[in-house]
Amino acid sequence: MTREIVNEIPNLAESMLTALVVDDDFVNQSIHHKILDRLGIKNDVVSNGKEAVDVHCSGRNYDLILMDMDMPVVNGIQATKKLREMGIESKIAGVTTRANEVEKKEFMEAGLNEFQEKPLTISKLLSILHKLDFYAKTSAGLFNQRWDKANCPKVRVDPDNLIH
């Protein structure tokens, strides 16, 4: 089922965005990676917060970080705090199954820009991208911009219709 959903998302074009997926669960890593790929967003995947910090220490930077909360070694809250202390300005979206209000507040206060409950879907990711002003840089947004410039009839890529 998940493979079918991900395969139905059109890969319209390469975007200008980069993302880092930070999640210890292989299935979630795979889903997040494939959804980002289908939107034309170049992305890397790491398994915990320490690896996310290490990647940034090595000089890599990303426009967007999708950060799980519950991970071994260094959790998402600790990693987000550390990245902000390091001066990392990437937009960080917490994506987690645990969403009680106290933990969500702590995660947001650590430096998140956005929060979304799992499972991550194309619609949820596009919602994150819209809220963080990244949608125009995704392949769907670029497609809509090119369509507008071509003076074509107003047919839009609608994220809700990408999955049947």
Residues 62-92 pLDDT 10s: 999 999 999 999 999 999 999 999 999 999 9
β-pair type (91-96, 64-67):
parallel
Helix (H) or strand (E) run with residue 29 in it: helix 26-38
- CATH topology for 2-161 is Rossmann fold (3.40.50)
pTM here? 0.76
Separation CA 121–CA 42 (nearest Å): 17
Separation CA 159–CA 105 (nearest Å): 29
CB 23 within 8 A of CB 29: yes
Q: Is the pLDDT higher at 135 or at 4?
A: 135
Backbone phi and psi for residue 133, each to the nearest 5 degrees, phi listed first: 60, 35
At 30-68, the pLDDT tens digits run 999 999 988 888 999 999 999 999 999 999 999 999 999
Please state the domain extents for the chain. 2-161
